[in-house]
Every structure is written in structure tokens, then in C-alpha cells.
Amino acid sequence: MNSQREVIADPEIIAHRGGLWPGMSENTLEAFTAAAVAGVELMETDAHASADGVPDVVAKVVEVYNRTSAPGTPRTLEQVTALFGEFEPVEPGLVWAPLWRPDHPVDPDRARQTWFYAGVGRKP
């Protein structure tokens, strides 16, 4: 397998939302595991909002989403971490989105206001 840096910069096989597998829902640990077994090198999932940083804002957003055909469910850091299953987090791990490999300094308090976590997991 290529080095971690090579896979992120130039993956050979990618699975959007874990890929489409018979009998499995997208964006689930089951789909990500099936993709890893199939040899996928890089997977991504849709953004997962979290009420950990700004619960009042997220509650209002969820209220709006719940009136649509795409209801929202904010997840805690622990719940998003669980989505990684046995996949190893790539540095800097699971962090507020603006803190994931920024190209300029980011204030952690401001980053929390985005209310989205970001992370990459690598198949061991």
C-alpha cells in the first residue's frame, strides 16, 4: 500500500459515502468496512453536524432540516469517533473542520463555531 501521504494526495480507489454495497446503507460503518475489505484506499462521509460547540445554533438548524425531506441529526464527538470503527485516524485526528490541516493559523474557539468535525481514517 502507498504511504499515508501518497494515499491522501493521490488515492487510487475512492469510496464516496463508503460506496454502494448490496443490502447496506451509505454513510455507515458497515459500508466503510465493506469498502476497506474491497481495497478502497480513501473514503469520505458527508459532514456530521455537532451540537458540541454551539448547541443553540445547531438546534435551530436541526429544526429547519426536520421540516424537510432530509432531517438532520447532530452527533457528539464520541458518536462521530465511533464511525471510524477500526480505521486509524490520520493526523490531526478528529477535530473541528477548520482545524484539520489548515493552511493558516486558526483560533480553536472560532473553529468550534463551524459545528462540524473533520477527520480521515486509514485502514490499518
CB 86 within 8 A of CB 122: no
C-alpha to C-alpha distance for 82 and 100, rounded to whole angstroms: 18
Q: What pLDDT does residue 98 have?
A: 92
Please check whether residue 34 is in contact with residue 18, taking contact to mean a CB–CB distance below 8 angstroms. Answer: yes
Question: Are 66 and 113 within one domain?
Answer: yes
CA distance 87 to 119: 11
User: Are 41 and 55 found together in one domain?
Assistant: no
- The answer on 122 and 82 residing in a single domain is yes
Q: Are residues 65 and 78 in the same domain?
A: yes
Q: 12 and 72, same structural domain?
A: no
List per-block mean pLDDT (blocks of 10 residues) for the chain, which spans 124 residues: 49 63 76 79 71 88 86 84 82 90 91 86 76
pTM, full prediction: 0.69
Cβ(118)–Cβ(97) below 8 Å: yes
Q: Do 38 and 58 fall into the same domain?
A: no
- Per the structure, the count of domains in the chain is 2
Note whether 27 and 60 are same-domain residues: no
Amino acid found at 54: V
Specify the pairing of strand 88-89 against strand 95-96.
Answer: unpaired
Question: Looking at the structure, do residues 62 and 113 belong to the same domain, yes or no?
Answer: yes
Query: The domain containing residue 5 runs over which residues?
Result: 1-46
User: Are 101 and 113 part of one and the same domain?
Assistant: yes
State how far the Cα of 34 lies from the Cα of 116, in Å rounded to an integer: 25
Helix (H, G, I), strand (E, B) or coil at 111: helix
pLDDT of residue 10: 54
